[in-house]
Amino acid sequence: MAAPTTETSWDGYVSGWSNSHDGYDPRHAGPLLRKWLRAAFTVGGMLARFGARPAYAMTVAVACAVLVPVLAARGGSWPALAAVVLVLGLAADTVGQTLAVLLGRTSRLASFYRTMIDRLSEVCWLVALASLGAQRTLLLACAAMVWLHEYIRARAGAVGLRAAGSATIGDRPTRAWLTLLSLLLAAASTAQVGPDLAAGVVTMVLVLWFSLAVLGLGQLLTVVRKVLT
């Protein structure tokens, strides 16, 4: 396929995105994700015209990921700002992928770097929740489930399972939404009662995180067994 340009149409962008994401077609995504990717397409197109490169957006994504626990640890209403920064980091990540498609700079190496940034972000999210008083054993259990989930997906991908066909309820989008919810509830709880309530609320959200991770792992193992047998 010819390298896309900044004038790529939405259909051309979708085709490029699908080629760089194991055949995943954004047109078949849910309405919220379609709107998110549409917005990234618009923003990415404008940035590309001004000479922006995927690496710029990835740098912003990393900076935002590191800032999340730094801000959350300040307590009070700061976790709400950490939530805003988390969303900005996710947006930067998506725009970076969009720029890569529009500029024809998708590659396996770029995909590897993006995966590393995703895992770094999730570590930062868990550190942020730890700073808010979340139960440490539960935090470690959630971290272990994330590692196990992604390890199984990577190993299955190495023997032929496409990532687009292995989406589960315990994937990164769910982790991001639960972290965002935790930060916002922590800020509200601290303002209304104090840090003890914030710690309890965050721990309860982590229970939901762990439960969905277990369900997601079951889904993933079922897909792997059906596809690879």
- pTM for the whole structure: 0.88
Q: For residues 142 and 157, what is the distance between their CA atoms, to the nearest angstrom?
A: 22
Summarize pLDDT for 185-200 with one digit per residue, the tens: 999 998 787 788 889 9
- Cβ(79)–Cβ(184) below 8 Å: yes
Q: Which two tokens stand for residue 109?
A: 């190496």
Summarize pLDDT for 6-15 with one digit per residue, the tens: 457 788 888 8
Q: For residues 177 and 16, what is the distance between their CA atoms, to the nearest angstrom?
A: 27
Summarize pLDDT for 82-132 with one digit per residue, the tens: 999 999 999 999 999 999 988 888 888 888 889 999 999 999 999 999 999
Q: Which single residue is written with the structure tokens 């939404």?
A: 177
Q: For residues 14 and 37, what is the distance between their CA atoms, to the nearest angstrom?
A: 10
Q: Which two tokens stand for residue 96?
A: 């970076």
